[in-house]
Structure 1
Amino acid sequence: MPIEHARACLELEAEAIRALIPRINEQFTIAMRMIINCSGRVVVSGMGKSGIIGKKIAATLASTGTPAFFLHPAEGIHGDLGMVTAHDIVLAISNSGETNEVIGLLPTLKRIGTPIIAMTGRAKSTLAQNADVFLDVAVAKEACPLGLAPTASTTATLAMGDALAIALLSARNFTPEDFALYHPGGALGRKLLLTVENVMHGGSDLPAVTPDKTVKEALFSITAQGLGAVLVVESLASMKLVGLLTDGDIRRSLEKGHDFLDKPVAGLMTREPRTITKDRLAAQALNFMEKNKPRPITVLPVVDSEFRAIGIIHLTDLLRQGVV
């Protein structure tokens, strides 16, 4: 029986969402246009479970290009309505449309002149009748077998809020880069905001030798900086890149003996190595390194427009930053 109740719950909630599709109508379009033309913010308010759903809707709007915040209606009628202006829009949520705390906001909002979008399940409720726009989130029945706990109704309200946010996102031509801007701490933010310059080693941390130095001297430089490679430059004054020597190159050569350690780096280095510029995305660098043929590379020199070495980026630096 519990399993059957669980399945019935999902069926009822799925039906509640499907029933919303025909309600993406003229009222929905008006609400969307009101928000797009709003010079202020969307103030979302709701009590109890509707308030919890309202917080999520406000967060989704804010993260997808529509400035929004949540106003607790009980706090609103005790002073927090001072945060609301005539330039804002209030999205008021109440399944019954008669929640005392939400209804209590209406007189002040009317006096301020703030437009109201009602998200409720009753078209003839006080909230719907006093709103500028009514978004119908009515459900046939709650998924709770007792008919008491808000279930299908909160699911429908959340889905309608998501539909509104996504419609606004599309209307604003909101891009992944815009999304990343509001999520700098998230994985997407790291992928789209971090550049090679943000993670590369440069300046005094830059291991570099000239081609005439011995492999042994280059090995000391590799060990000192701990980056697994050393840049080979025309001169330390010009820093023009002519090659790259990695600890892997040295290890593979040791299988044939160690005489090469006293020979010039020029004989062992990789000439014309793969490079990247500092303005490229860190995610692009990772992709470039992983897909290098015949085998992935772990270090990548960073050069400027005149092919001067200005940095070096290591695979572990990218992984440490969460660029995956």
Structure 2
Amino acid sequence: MPVDQEQIAKSLAAKIDKLAAGKDIKIMHVCGTHEYAITKSGIRSLLPPNVKVVMGPGCPVCVTPQAEIDAIVELAEQGKVICTYGDLLRVPGTKSSLYDTVGDIHIVQSISQSVDIARQNPSKEVVFMAVGFETTAPTTAAIVLDGPPENFSMIVSHRLVPPAMKWLMQQGEAKLHGFLLPGHVCTIAGSHDYEQFPVPQVIAGFEPLEILYGLYMLVKQVVEGRAEVENAYTRAVRCQGNQKALKMMEEVFDVCDIMWRGFPVIPDSGYKLKPQYEKFDALKKYNIELKEVKKETGCLCNEILRGIRDPTDCKLFGKACKPLKPVGACMVSSEGACRIWFTYGKAHKVVKE
């Protein structure tokens, strides 16, 4: 961090320290990119010990349940051509991951690449794993509206952030005082859906100073007894969101109840294809039923995703569980808390001292 930025960061941290004096404040963010920036830049080391920042269910790959991994593995074993993002490859299901499965599996950068593979191979059935929050759902919707080939289908694994936040607040187990909201998601969805929650919330960008400023705004709300949705990422986020993207999503998807890894089924927290587009639903096309069978491994990923444990609380962290041989999903994705803490352990060590 340049000297002038470092001085600004220390100044913001001092203001947070002064504001939070005598109070224990716990803030959750729900974005893997925020965790990456916070840990890599050592933001936690600047904060007073009474202000704690934890990661919630902000990694889409991490919250993809075992049942969906089992389904895509089953399709691979049936001989379907599987297209997926690289982050999902090693995510463990009940018995296996895609990485350990023999099949025709392609790592793609976008859903459009999957459609290209389907068009280039008309005699083969191609299945895409459509993972992501509101950020990536518009690209899925755009592909569906564009009319992909008949040999293309997908497992729709899109999830919505606000219902997960609502569930966390209803449980109260993490004892949260506020949320640092995900800038990427809010760029698409806007801020309206968050106004229902009576807790301090700030939409933040992804540079270290933007995150620190967002934390300062949150602590200020907590201390002043306010509960508002404030936007500290105005260069990208508008209250109404991206109307074109939202319209496409509304045309293609219905809201549905859906499983999350580490959570029960959360009402109205996911998307499913509308009836007129169900021919592109791989689960319906190939008559696959999602069956959630919990596999006990000793991994604390479920509790890490709910903000009640840190990665280093897990006895498997950095030992039996490493990025190339993960036990839990949080060690797989580049947006997973365990993977980030493993990669930037030195920075985190500074934070913890």
TM-score if structure 1 supplies the norm length? 0.29
Larger radius of gyration: 1
Higher normalized helix content (fraction of residues) = 1
TM-score if structure 2 supplies the norm length? 0.27
Larger RCO, structure (CA 8 Å, separation 6 or more)? 2
